[in-house]
Structure 1
Amino acid sequence: MFSQKLSIRIFIIGIFVSILLVACDDKTDNPLEENSAPEKEDIMKEASEPTPGGSIVGAMYEPPAGMFNPIFYEDPYEANILSFTHESLVGQNEQLEFIPKLAKSWETNEDQTELTLYLEEEVKWHDGEEFTADDVVFTYQSIADPDYTEAGGVHTAFVEPLLGYSEYVNGDTDQFQGLIADDTYTVTFKFKEPMINPLYIASFPVIPEHIFKEIPIADMPSAEASINPEKVIGTGPFKFAKAVEGEEYILERHDAYWQGTPYLDEIIWRVVAKSVIAGLLERGEVDIIANPDVISANDYETVRDLENITLVEQPDFSYQILGFKLHHQTKEDVENGIINPTNWKPNPKLSEPQVRQAIAYAINREQLIMELLNGRGQLLHSPIAQSFWAYDESATEHYSFDPEKAKALLDELGYVDKNEDGFREDPDGNEWVLHFDYPTGNAIREETGPLIAQMLEEIGIKIELREPKEMFTFIQDLTNDNNDWDLYLLGWNLSSTEPDPANLWLSTAAYNFSRWNNPDSDDLLNKAIKTPEAFEQDYRSDVYRDWQKLYSEELPALILYTPNNVWAYNNRLKGIEPLPYTLYNNTHQWWVVEKK
């Protein structure tokens, strides 16, 4: 049994910290003035060496939800701020290998039950206080706190493998054994069993103990240091200076930054409508755009051809799904925040895997990519990111668009149109209607719902396409699922640090919104991280190959596609070194060439 009161304001975001929901909106008004385009003779002064000073303007088309504490944030727009203000002990390089960050080196013991990290010794928080091992211990102990999940925290994956977590979170002890400060600049993670990827656990952003230590965990999300820009304290190259809520968010350089004073004086994030992004880039009113999904498919070629803009396109660590509600929770479990698969009630309308397979064959995913993404996406046949060594589409069913096969599968199962109304009844002759829910806030997803409903009705499945709900309400209903949901649309951002999909698809996983309960799946997911066998990547690859095959047969959700990640920046901005999962890399080394 897994007990966790989930935060309702969930958006999956990955960057590199956790698995969160993606919600996007393109309805924000443009607060920028419509200035005329710069004269062609306004050329940029070339420079071979970085020049201190200057500022850049970034654009996002949805304002951050307002949580700027890394242990509680869930919103991709908040990540546009936190990526500059907070740091973790380790980062990643272009090969997705872990590299030093706040920790300069590390070592594991022989059986991989302990990870000891040696911290940088000249790091200052934005308020001038010294960064130490106590801050690291405090961060993880806060996530392990018994009140953390009830307060809205969802990042427990980073503490669950640690020694004594269960006893601590259940209140059996007030001493957390999983993390200790050996001295001022040394910290040791202790795992309850050998850990195949301990640096993944060490990749979570650190928060300052001296700011939060007197604040109860239950009150931390509403604390000034979590929500007031001028009170947000990190170790990153930029400080959160001020904000005009819903319009503008200003970051100022951290002069005492431990890797050297940043070149830029200021980074200004402005909330703008997606429809005007291309024009703002062309006129030089916006210097950089990043996550999530700011360039519309229709504007892609326009932005690509702008002479003053560099465009970066890579496969994203995310995917969109059509989810199948295989089980529903009991009212009592929902009220108590308990995830207990033994109590779940099967959804008979979708209990047959062949029914879900028929639905998959009926959906033209290539059409969705071409019409909705203007071709800027790829089919994905497994819920593991393509960039990982574990991805193996050869083991999976690809579910190519084949409506005749879909019809044949349903006919064989006894789902036929008995009353000749154009829609199939179930094998007992009862009306068979699938309720289909999806959220607002993402224009592409809002268009996807009606398209899929039409495709399914063309093979005789009656769909009740319900009015889309605001993301907050949608996630509330999706989480508290003692209801009549059958189909749902959702987007997942994946962590770039580890291919293990258990956080989404293990039966007891909080984000297993399909309520897929398959013992073979759980067994394979657990085997893939079981030591000592799992220390061998070939072993893990074999296990994940078997799991991906099982997933594609059972099909708790159909992976619709993975969008391409598209970033763009003005050529006057220098020092950009994109990583496979982000544009925010060594931002203290960004600098600008000023216009003449």
Structure 2
Amino acid sequence: MKGKKLWPLLLIFVLILAACNSNSSSNEEGGSEAAGEPQKGGELVGAMDTPPEGVFNPIFYSSSYENNILQFTHDGLITQNDKLEFLPSLAKDWDLSEDQTSVTFTLNEGVKWQDGEPFTANDVVFTYKTISDPDYVAAGGIRTDYVVRLKGYQDYSTGKTDKFEGVVADGDNKVTFYFEESNIQALSDASLQIIPEHIFKDIPVKDIPKAPETREAGKVIGTGPFKFAQEVQGEQYVLEKNPDYFDGEPYLDKVTWRVMEQSVILGELESGSVDFVADPNGFPPADYDTVKDMENISIIEQPQFGYQIMGMSINHRSKEDAQAGVIKPEQFVPNKKLQSKEVRQAIAYAVDRQKLIDGLLYGHGDVVNSPIPRNFSAYDEEKPNQYKFDPDKAKELLDGAGYKDTNGDGFREDPEGKEWVLNLNYPKGNQTREKSAPIIKQFLEDVGIKIDLRQPMEAASYFESLEKNNFDWDLYLIGWSLSSTDPDPSGIYGAPAAYNYGRWNNQEAEDLIKKANTPPDALDKDFRDGVFSDWQVKFQDEMPAFILYAPNDLWAHNNRLHGIEPLPYSMLNKTHKWWVSQN
């Protein structure tokens, strides 16, 4: 979840293989090459199957559905191309110090916020200062991974000082990021979308997530090519072009997102009522042949940047910490039902992932065994345990851990002879994921693990529970769209990370991440990749989350839409250059 570092749901929202250039269209005549010169004007309608939660602020949102709006409305200092190389955006160039302890950005001149106010270096400082604020995490902020390496962060974030020295403006058009030590992730840390100081400076940080300027159409202000103009909450979100966009006036006049059941999207697509279906879920693999046969529609298929997991709540936050909005790994409360890593490994062996891919994805996906995206050289597809489907191995591990069926009912009791039931939680919205839940339940019960398959929850309530009060959860289904800027997995799987919903806390894993990010050794790419390989092996051994599958992205658009340049993680790229045929 997409300045895109961690996007849940979403994520998440990364697969390089031949993926970046493997886009395929079902109707090549829909390509922009055959369409002539771009034309101004026109409108588009996009479909998404789940409504945004309503937090349209780059430093506070947590859902990919909000990101569908923010990708049109906000920009970062830098962006990326399809090879994940950094490119200029709000900044026209940058100078990274030789020891990588600082990076200075020169901003494009004349950039304006959508309300006409000038964009300056002070907006950059304000954005990062807000994320570093002592009240940020308690307010629901989850993007501290962008600021933890900044100079003075610890003292500022804990209130020991009111001097913020991590990001400093030098006039209106220069801004420098300073780090505590050489930072291999300097550019990644500086890639977050920026919010306007003049809009939020008088709003206490703790109140920003609920402020109208974060939530209401017409009051959300960015620098992006489209303005968030109108909304009918849960139904429709209207974006109107920003004629003063610094990178050129958009060709389109308007883009409207409509929320509808996944089951009706394709009918609307074929009829022309919907022009595209893209991030985060695209269209279901079961409908691939149906879409392929639509003469007016083109398909973009590429390996997905993220994956679907079954998370395991190894620990929970204490209720006191959850209420205070803090994450203190030393105070995590162990979940006794999943403390044994042999149990977690058994769960992995018990699930036939290829069957899920063949049956639910119709072959449009892959089994992966690492949470580091395949686009990065740090991805290791060989050394981590592969967990090939082996129910006998699962039973052996459970027996060895003391989980046996002592009363003959077909389900295992815990080592103390007590009933042992794991609950499985999942959200509404993604049909493939919803269909996978009862299948996973059956796989686990086939090896004697009794599963309480809970009723699916509305997405907003589901993720709020994951973030704040999942005190009795055991297993949960979620999709991650991961960082496109760096392979470091700590933003999701580091012990203090807000997205570490399973509250995994393993010192060896923490030490490996630190080693991979500590110069000077970490400045050597081969060294860093090797350490991350060791971390991936550790992850698969500890099994804090089981990676179910990496689906292919299946996006579709009407052939009247041109100018699409998809990235490995999103179709929503350079939207100001999208245009439609007018005849």
TM-score normalized with structure 2 length: 0.92
- The secondary structure found in structure 2 opposite 1:71 is coil
Residue matched to 2:353 = 365
Partner of 1:102: 90
2:15 aligned partner: none
Which residue, 553, 557, 580 being the options, matches 2:568? 580
**Following superposition, which runs of at least 4 residues in structure 1 exceed 6 angstroms of deviation?**
none
Supply the distance in 2 between the matched residues of 1:412 and 1:212 (Cα, whole angstroms): 57
CA positional deviation for 1:97: 0.7
- Flag structure 2 segments of 5+ consecutive residues without an equivalent: 13-31
Could you tell me which of 127, 136, 142 is aligned with 1:148?
A: 136
Q: Which amino acid aligns with 1:60?
A: M
Q: Are the counterparts in 2 of residues 194 and 532 from structure 1 also a CA contact under 8 Å?
A: yes
Deviation at 1:299, TM superposition (A): 1.7
For 1:69, the equivalent position in structure 2 comes to: 57
> Cα gap change, 1:15/1:463 in structure 2, threshold over 3 Å: closer, same or farther?
farther
Letter in 2 for 1:260: G
Q: Which residue of structure 1 lines up, in the alignment, with residue 304 of structure 2?
A: 316
Residues in 2 aligned to 1:259 and 1:472: alpha-carbon distance in whole angstroms: 34
Q: Does 1:398 align with 2:390?
A: no
Report the 3-state secondary structure (helix = DSSP H, G, I; strand = E; otherwise coil) of the residue aligned with 2:124. helix
State the partner residue of 2:152. Answer: 164
Deviations 1:549-595 (A, max 9, x none): 11111111111111211211111111111111111222222111112
Deviation string for 1:31-51 (max 9, x for gaps)? xxxxxxxxxxxxx99752112
Residue 26 of structure 2 corresponds to none
Verify: 1:189 aligned to 2:177, yes or no: yes
Deviations along 1:391-410, whole A, 9 cap, x unmatched? Answer: 10101111111112222222
State how far apart, in whole Å, the 2-side matches of 1:459 and 1:568 are. Answer: 40
Alignment match of 1:60 (pick from 48, 54, 79)? 48
How far apart, CA to CA, are the structure 1 residues paired with 2:326 and 2:39? 55
Partner residue of 1:246 out of 234, 249, 252: 234
Residue in structure 1 matched with residue 25 of structure 2 by the alignment: none
Change (3 A) 1:176 1:108: same
Deviations 1:301-331 (A, max 9, x none): 2112322222111111222112222223434
Whole-angstrom distance in 2 between the partners of 1:490 and 1:402: 24
Q: 2:447 & 2:485 partners in 1: Cα distance?
A: 41
Question: Is the CA contact (8 Å cut-off) linking 1:15 and 1:582 kept in structure 2?
Answer: no
Matched, 1:114 2:102: yes
> What secondary structure is seen at the aligned counterpart in 2 of 1:183?
coil
Pick aligned residue for 1:436 from 416, 424, 438:
424
Letter in 1 for 2:133: D
Secondary structure of the structure 2 residue equivalent to 1:229:
coil
- 2:29 is matched with none
Q: What's the % identity of the aligned pairs? A: 53
109 and 355 in structure 1: CA distance in 2 versus 1, 3 angstrom threshold: same
Task: Tell me which of 544, 552, 575 is aligned to 1:564.
Answer: 552
> Match of 1:286?
274
Shift of 1:81: 1.4
Count of matched residue positions in the alignment of Structure 1 and Structure 2: 564
Q: CA deviation at 1:92?
A: 0.3
Going from structure 1 to structure 2, the CA distance change for 1:552 and 1:90 (only over 3 Å counts) comes to: same
Q: Please name the residue that 1:344 is paired with.
A: 332
Give me the whole-angstrom Cα distance separating, in 2, the residues matched to 1:367 and 1:142: 46
Give 3-state SS (helix, strand or coil) of 1:62's partner. coil
Provide the residue aligned with 2:445 in structure 1: 457
8 A contact 1:15–1:495 mirrored in 2:
no
Q: Which runs of 5+ in 1 are unaligned?
A: 1-12, 25-43
Q: 1:437 to 1:48 in 2, by over 3 A?
A: closer
Q: What letter matches 1:103 in structure 2? A: A
Tell me whether 93-102 or 472-481 shows the greater mean CA deviation: 472-481
Assess if the C-alpha contact under 8 Å between 2:137 and 2:326 holds in 1: no
1:166-565 map, 5 Å: 166-480=154-468, 483-565=471-553
CA distance in 2, matches of 1:274, 1:484: 30
RMSD after superposition: 2.2
Asked if the contact 1:58–1:287 (Cα under 8 Å) also holds between the matched residues in 2, the reply is yes
Contact 1:521/1:550 (8 A) holds in 2: yes
Deviation at 1:158, TM superposition (A): 1.2
Residues of 2 paired with 1:119 and 1:565: CA distance? 34
- What is the one-letter code of the residue matched to 1:445? R
Displacement of 1:176: 0.5
Name the SS for the 2:170 alignment partner.
Answer: strand
- Report the Cα distance in structure 2 between the residues aligned to 1:216 and 1:481, rounded to whole angstroms: 25
Relative to structure 2, which stretch is displaced further, 140-149 or 322-331?
A: 322-331
> 423-432 or 93-102: which moved more?
423-432
Distance 2:252 2:388 in 1: 49
Cα separation, partners in 2 of 1:469 and 1:192, compared to 1, 3 Å = same
Q: Deviations over 1:533-558 (max 9, x none)?
A: 11111011100111111111111111
Determine the C-alpha separation between the residues in 2 that align with 1:359 and 1:107.
48
Paired position in structure 2 for 1:31: none
